[in-house]
Chains A and B, each alone.
Chain A
Amino acid sequence: SQTIHQWPATLVQPVGSPLSLECTVEGTSNPNLYWYRQAAGRGLQLLFYSVGIGQISSEVPQNLSASRPQDRQFILSSKKLLLSDSGFYLCAWSGRRVTGELFFGEGSRLTVL
């Protein structure tokens, strides 16, 4: 069966520090991968998605970047965090078909102080 795992689960970082959140998927190949952010009391905002290794589409220009160094690995990064980067980050995957349900990871809660 397929599983998705992201880490760390909780992170407290000072403003200006770097960030790296990692997500891996097991049990499937060539998944579409996604990073969403959920700010407190807000909906899910699509940040990045990827349909293949090295292929990243950015939805919201901001302080973050994403990379996909391997087929089932998706990394969210920042060189210098801002207070506004605080939130709940969710990684998700879907099958290679254009449509299908999204499967979400457990989420990473980031607090920038």
Chain B
Amino acid sequence: AQKVTQAQTEISVVEKEDVTLDCVYETRDTTYYLFWYKQPPSGELVFLIRRNSFDEQNEISGRYSWNFQKSTSSFNFTITASQVVDSAVYFCALQPFNSGTYKYIFGTGTRLKVLA
């Protein structure tokens, strides 16, 4: 089965706190891609990052960092020193590659509320 699980439905933090959003995926494909998207209140999804299954290096982009661990099938997203503008729904997604599918499978999202 191809599946993405975001167990945290909603997280509230106070501004400047660090927060980690969890993502666990399931796939039998040996080649796959993982994504994170941000959905601000406006509704349009904004692409944040793409990772392929052969690249387990962690990535940092400003206050954002991503930790990919194949051993635990996880692709977690950390926001350091959170800001009110980070308030949004965040989605993790999986694209299996071996099966030749063009599908992107999304998790149910985590709503992040950053309080001033």
Residues of A within 8 A of B (CB): 32, 34, 36, 42-44, 46, 49, 51, 59, 88, 90, 92, 94, 98-107, 109
Name the residue in A43, A92, A98, A104 with the highest tally of chain B Cβ atoms < 10 Å from its Cβ: A43
- A-B pairs under 8 A by CB, number: 57
Q: Which residue of A lies closest to B91 (CB)?
A: A44
**Contacting B44 at CB < 8 Å: which of A32, A42, A49, A106?**
A106
Q: Which 5 pairs across A and B sit closest by C-beta, in order of nearness? A: A43-B108, A44-B106, A104-B45, A107-B43, A101-B47
Taken together as a complex, chains A and B put the C-alpha atoms of A59 and B52 apart, in Å, by 24
Q: Given A101-B47, A106-B44, does the pair A34, B104 have CB atoms closer than 8 Å?
A: yes
Residue numbers in A under 8 Å from B44 (CB-CB): 104-107
**Contacting B91 at CB < 8 Å: which of A43, A59, A98, A100?**
A43
Residues of B within 8 A of A (CB): 6, 33, 35, 37, 42-45, 47, 50, 52, 91, 93, 95, 97, 100, 102-109
